[in-house]
């Protein structure tokens, strides 16, 4: 484990829109995964399509002048707390339920030939991000980033982008806890980890089309109250085996909430710190669009 390191790379003053599905008046508000998934895909596809059309306009002065009349679609951050959902990324494989043979990381699924629509009553979505299987649900803040890495002043480097997203989470948790060097990266696995516990508190997974990113991070805030984290019991999240004595079952409440949740931030408070940290790390200015619904 190693602690935070600032990874500033962008010197521009570009804007990013924030679309929030969080609402302080409805603390238990849960958004179905497919709602924000479709919004995110539409935003990222629009940006990729615009870039493709701009590329096609090169060498055609008249068409290029016409295209120049239209501003490029904006970057977006989407903040949401999902209803219970499993998502599987591009690295997922359907194999035997045996770790030594290469299992499918759904516990108890056995040798199913096809991915079922539900596991333990929780819907499963096969999506375009990298990685294996993970769980989204109550008590977890999910932040999606539709971000053009090809804009001037930015680096076309997906590994660096993932590290920068990890830095965003680290800085956000530093602010929320008022402490430094308590969370960081793991040398073998992506995500953000509680250093002392050697347990994962946030997962990172992205997709990219024409250097436009989508998907993002899931930060575990409170998986204790009401058995909110039960969905994690049905999987080997992100392909991390139990025999490694590691996992994603730690959350903010377990690590720093003192057992009574008095210091556990709300979804909106955590979302605000994630946006602030993103502004700092990526040198952009956020504009809030309000609630997604």
Q: Which residues are catalytic?
A: 238
User: Cβ neighbours of residue 273 under 8 Å, at least 6 residues apart?
Assistant: 171, 172, 173, 175, 176, 265
CA dist 165 and 205 (Å) reads: 10
143: nearest Cα among 163, 160, 165 = 165
CA dist 146 and 206 (Å) reads: 10
Strands (DSSP E) along 147-254, which ranges?
A: 183-185, 192-194, 199-209, 212-220
Report CA Rg, the chain.
Answer: 19
CA dist 43 and 261 (Å) reads: 36
CA dist 197 and 230 (Å) reads: 20
Burial of 91 (0-12, 13-18, 19+ CB in 10 A): middle
Strands across the sheet with 85-88, in order?
Answer: 118-119, 122-126, 85-88, 133-136
Structure-block tokens of residue 28: 């238990």
Burial of 74 (0-12, 13-18, 19+ CB in 10 A): middle
């Amino acid at each position: 484990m190693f602690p935070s390191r600032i990874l500033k790379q962008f010197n521009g003053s570009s804007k990013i829109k924030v679309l929030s599905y969080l609402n302080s008046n409805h603390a238990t508000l849960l958004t179905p995964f497919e709602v924000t998934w479709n919004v995110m895909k539409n935003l990222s596809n629009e940006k990729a399509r615009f870039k493709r059309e701009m590329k096609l306009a090169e060498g055609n002065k008249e068409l290029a002048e016409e295209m120049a009349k239209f501003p490029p679609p904006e970057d977006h951050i989407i903040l949401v707390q999902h209803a219970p959902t499993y998502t599987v990324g591009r690295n997922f494989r359907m194999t035997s339920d045996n770790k030594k043979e290469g299992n499918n990381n759904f516990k108890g699924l056995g040798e199913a030939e096809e991915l079922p629509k539900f596991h333990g009553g929780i819907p499963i979505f096969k999506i375009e991000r990298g990685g294996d299987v993970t769980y989204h649900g109550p008590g977890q803040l999910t932040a999606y980033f539709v971000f053009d890495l090809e804009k001037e002043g930015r680096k076309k480097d997906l590994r660096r982008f993932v590290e920068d997203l990890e830095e965003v989470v680290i800085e956000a948790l530093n602010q929320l806890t008022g402490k430094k060097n308590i969370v960081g990266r793991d040398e073998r696995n992506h995500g953000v980890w509680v250093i002392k516990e050697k347990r994962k508190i946030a997962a990172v997974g992205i997709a990219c089309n024409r250097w436009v990113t989508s998907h993002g991070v899931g930060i575990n805030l409170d998986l204790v109250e009401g058995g909110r984290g039960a969905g994690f019991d049905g999987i080997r999240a992100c392909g991390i085996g139990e025999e490694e004595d590691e996992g994603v079952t730690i959350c903010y409440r377990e690590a720093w909430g003192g057992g009574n949740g008095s210091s556990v931030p709300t979804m909106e408070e955590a979302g605000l710190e994630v946006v602030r940290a993103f502004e700092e790390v990526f040198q952009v200015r956020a504009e809030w669009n309000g609630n997604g619904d």
